[in-house]
Every structure is written in C-alpha cells, then in structure tokens.
Amino acid sequence: MTTPARPPLGRSLLRLFTVQGSWNYERMQGIGMGVAEQPLIRDLDGNGTAYHAAVARAAHFFNAHPYLCGLAVGATARAEHDGVPPQQVERLRTALCGPLGALGDRLVWAGWLPLTSGLALIGVALGLGLWAIFGFLIVYNIGHVALRWWALRAGWAYGGQVATALREPVLQRAATLSAPAMALVAGVALPLVVHYLTGGFLSWTRAVLAVVAAGGFVLLRWQRARLTGLRFGLVLLALAALIGWFWQ
C-alpha cells in the first residue's frame, strides 16, 4: 500500500472536534474515532475491501482524552497504509487508551484549563472585566487546538512507533510543569478573588465568611468519605438563598 504524500489531516482535525458527538457506553468514543479517521484511509485500495475493514476497526471501542485522540487516529491510519496486520493495529489502539487518557488529564484538566482559568480570575479581580474572559477563551482554545493538531500530525508521522511521540522532551516538560504552574496561579488568584468578591461586605461579614471557609475546609478534611466540595457548596448556596429571602 502507498502512503499519500499530502494526507487530508485538516479534514480529520475538523472531525476530531465532534469525536464525542456519538459517545455511547458500548464503544465510548469509537464511532467518532472512525469518522475522524475516515478521510485518512479513504484511498487504501481500489475495491474497497481494505478500506471498509479499516473503517470498521477504527470504530471499535476507544476511550482516551478527547484532545489527544488524534494521536491514535493518525497512528492507526498510518499503520493501515503501512500494511500493519489488523491484529497489531487493534493492539495499538488498545495500548494508546491508557497513556493518552492519563497524559491528557495531566496536561489539560489538571494543568492548562485551571491555569488559564486562574489567570482569567486574576484579570477579573484586577479590574479587566470582560477582557479577561475574552482572553481566557482565546488563549485556552489556541492551546487546546494546537494540542489536537500536534497529536494528529505526530500520530501520522510516527505510525506504529507512536510511543516515541509520547517521549518527546517538550511534551514531558509540559506535563511536568503544568501542575506546579497551575498551583502557583491558583495560589495567586485565591486572595485576589476573595478580596474582589468581599469588597462590598462589612468587616464583620468578612469575618463570618472567613470562619465559614475555614470551617468548610475542616469539614471536608474530616468527613472526606461522605462530604464533597460540591455538596458543601450546594448547602452554602441554599443557606445563602434562605438568609437573603428572610433579610428582604
């Protein structure tokens, strides 16, 4: 089989934005993966046998971070073009689920998203208003689209040797630095946001808020098996609504 000199990576990238649109419990992201891989394997052979078999494999069960799914799409499509046996292609897809899920969680959910969100909160607290929100939307999406594009291109470039892409120094450095950077920004944002949100309160109400926050932290640590931050936050919202209703 021949490898196309200019694969339609752009079309595949656009389809990757909808990779979770057909999510289901049986195949997870599998059908979306098949849709995204289809442009890259459309020219596998003339009679369609290899093409249809490859599309069926691409739509099998798959579950990983949505921003890094392109790495598996590009790698398996390249493996199909290189004539890798079907069983080996299946094993490649299965082996990529865990690493791509863990790496994506570290890079995005525990790094890039809270980092850019924290910067936006700092901007709002310093008086930038909507500009901080617009800045967050622009910067976050530039980063996540760049990650999707890198993953797809790296998968296509490395094919069956895609594990090499996961060991690239830039990627490893980003994974290592993302959590400390997020923690630093969150630490800076917290006092600024607290000051911004409590600016209109009287001094005694600020003390009450501080006591509630400290008590909530102690409760979450003490009852962490039964009490979550979400439940505690919902209780506080309900109490605030009740107090506001009586206050009026």
Whole-prediction pTM value? 0.83
The predicted structure's pLDDT at residue 190: 87
Q: List pLDDT tens digits, range 187-234.
A: 999 889 888 887 777 777 778 878 888 888 888 888 877 878 777 777
* Radius of gyration of the chain, Cα coordinates, nearest whole angstrom: 24
**For range 45-55, the mean pLDDT:** 80
Candidate from 5-9, 70-74, 138-142, 230-234 with smallest mean pLDDT: 230-234
Query: Which amino acid is residue 16, in one-letter code?
Result: L
> If pLDDT is split at 50, 70 and 90, which confidence band does 1 have?
low
Residue-wise pLDDT for 53-73, tens only, equals: 999 999 999 999 999 999 999
pLDDT by residue (tens digit) across 21-43?
999 999 999 999 999 999 999 88
Residue type, 148: R
Report for 125-139, 165-179, 233-247: range of highest mean pLDDT: 125-139
Report pLDDT for 60: 94
3-state secondary structure the chain: CCCCCCCCHHHHHHHHCCCCCCCECCCECHHHHHHHHHHHHCCCCCCCHHHHHHHHHHCCCECCCCCCHHHHHHHHHHHHHCCCCHHHHHHHHHHHHHHHHHHHHHHHHHHHHHHHHHHHHHHHHCCCCHHHHHHHHHHHHHHHHHHHHHHHHHHHHHHHHCHHHHCCHHHHHHHHHHHHHHHHHHHHHHHHHHHHHCCCCCHHHHHHHHHHHHHHHHHHHHCCCCCCHHHHHHHHHHHHHHHHHHHC
Give the mean model confidence (pLDDT) for residues 72-93: 94
Return the pLDDT at 4: 65
For the chain, the straight-line distance linking the first and the last C-alpha, in angstroms and rounded, comes to 76
What confidence score (pLDDT) does residue 241 get?
Answer: 80
pLDDT at 163: 86
Distance, in Å, from the CA atom of 243 to the CA atom of 139, rounded to the nearest integer, reads 39
Domain layout of the chain by residue ranges: 9-185, 200-247
Using one digit for the tens of pLDDT, what is the confidence trace for 165-181? Answer: 888 888 888 888 988 99
Between 118 and 237, name the one with better pLDDT.
Answer: 118
**pLDDT, averaged across the chain:** 89
